[in-house]
Amino acid sequence: MPFPSRTLRLTVLAQNNAGIKDFRPYVPSINDAGVVAFQATLEDGHTAVLTHDGSGVTTVATTVSANSPVQCFSSHPDINSAGQICIYAHMTRGHDAVVMLEPDGRLLHTPVDGPLTGIGPLGPTMNESGGVAFRFTSAQGLASIGVWQDGHWRSTAQIGTQAVPLTSTPTANTSDAATRPSQPIDGDAGPDASNAGASNVRFSAFDGLPVVNAAGDVAFRADRSDGLQGVFLARGGQTPVPIITTGGEISALARFTILNDLGQIAFAATTADGEPALFFGDARGGSGTAGITPLLGGHRSSRDNSGRSGDGGDCDGGGFESFRGILINKQGPVVFYGTPHGGQLGIYTGPDPRRDRLLGLGDPLLGGTVSDFALNPVSVNEAGQITVRVALEDGRQFILRGDPER
């Protein structure tokens, strides 16, 4: 499918003034009602979780009170349609935790609190039913990915545990990968143990954010002990299986992947011939799936389920030297961020590097010049709205919302 062009209208929701010192380094998030949540450092050094519902800024929680169990909020917040917010926090008792806040600021619960030696890096993601996915360090000191859902905690992946390999040379179409049977995460052999050395392939590092969808499936980016990179999907608590890995048509994967509630996945990559590409497709597998194919950039042909080359549609993307990431919802692609040839990193609402540029480094904005911006998979909703943190060279910072123009 071609990347659709669209127009977004930017609106300022908050600025670093009136008691707010800094929004950096965290991204804002947005729910399906268009409510934006963001973390801020206040002028007095305390931190706060704030929202904007279109009518003004509301303080949901702050560490100003001496009775607050939170010493500081230390990640981006993610907000669902019920107004619940999940965020990392450093607690007054001296440890890190993932905390859940009600819209009125009450601490609903701490899904994971105490037994881990560290939370993060980067922030959590949350689905509409309050399931939270995040990275953490286990009591044994191992980098891990976990999910809290319906009062239950499970570990999804951990450094040193088995990374199920693809059964054949990885390509841009891996629709069969998500349909193979799963094994316990600490099993000695995976479903492809017949491959030479397959049972010795382990996770060696994680990158970006794990993203959880409505079904409780979790997508994440990881490195393997054999030197390859992969995008993996853990369905309903099962062993993660690879959606795509480097080593074939793909030479490198960007840090962030994103998963929608239909089970479609998207990510940025570099092909074996050095071309940047955005990939998108159905990660669930099953009959009739088109698999994962280039959305923009990369090769001009995609592959069907048999591996035969076919018409890839509008997969040009020749105006870009690299892609950093992509945001999608159930309707498909919304925006991506990348660097055009001879230009600087920016956010794009379509494939044309000039006409479809929303904002980017060095661009004029609000009477200044953009010096920094940030967004990630929590920064898009089902209405096609996005939210972004922007800093200008003159020191001003803003939380913006992008609304589709009808």
**Residue-wise pLDDT tens digits, 15-71:** 999 999 999 999 999 999 999 999 999 999 999 999 999 999 999 999 988 778 999
Is 37 part of a structural domain of the chain?
yes
pLDDT of 296 strictly over 60: yes
pLDDT of residue 214: 94
Closest CA to 350 of 368, 338, 361, 365: 338
Q: Does 225 score more than 70 pLDDT?
A: yes
pLDDT at position 34 is 98
User: Using 50, 70 and 90 to split pLDDT, how confident is the model at 299?
Assistant: low
Domain that holds residue 330: 8-404
DSSP secondary structure letters along 177-219:
GGGSPP--TT-SS-TTTTSTTGGG-BEEEEEEEEEE-TT--EE
Specify whether the CB–CB gap between 363 and 347 falls below 8 A: no
Q: How far apart are CA 32 and CA 131, in angstroms?
A: 16
Q: How confident is the model at residue 238 (pLDDT cuts 50, 70, 90)?
A: confident
CATH number of the structural domain spanning residue 156: 2.130.10.150
Dihedral sign (CA 14, 19, 22, 28) = negative
Taking 70 as the threshold, does the pLDDT of residue 189 lie above it? no
Q: What is the DSSP letter of 4?
A: P
Q: Is residue 305, in this structure, part of any structural domain at all?
A: yes
Tokens (6 digits) for 389:
């943190």
State the pLDDT at residue 138: 86
Instruction: Answer whether residue 176 shows pLDDT above 80.
Output: no
Is position 282 within any domain? yes
Residue 168 domain-assigned (yes or no): yes
Q: Which two tokens stand for residue 341?
A: 């040839």
Is 221 part of a structural domain of the chain?
yes
Helix (H) or strand (E) holding 70: strand 70-73
**Residue 312 maps to a domain:** yes
- Give the up-direction half-sphere exposure of residue 86: CA atoms within 13 A in the CB hemisphere: 29
Residue 93 has pLDDT above 90, yes or no: no
- pLDDT for 65: 81
Give the count of domains, the chain.
1
Residue 192 lies in a domain: yes
Residue 301 pLDDT grade (very low, low, confident, very high; cuts 50, 70, 90): very low
User: How many C-beta atoms lie closer than 10 Å to residue 172's C-beta?
Assistant: 23
What's the pLDDT at 201?
A: 87
pLDDT confidence tier of residue 308, bands split at 50, 70 and 90? very low
Most confident by average pLDDT, 22-31, 135-144, 151-160: 22-31
The encoded tokens of residue 392 equal 């200008």
pLDDT of residue 182: 29
pLDDT at position 317 is: 61
362-386 per-residue burial string, b: 16 or more CB within 10 A, e: under 16: ebebeebebeebbbbbbbbbbbbbb
Residue 3 inside a domain? The answer is no
For the chain, what is the mean pLDDT?
84
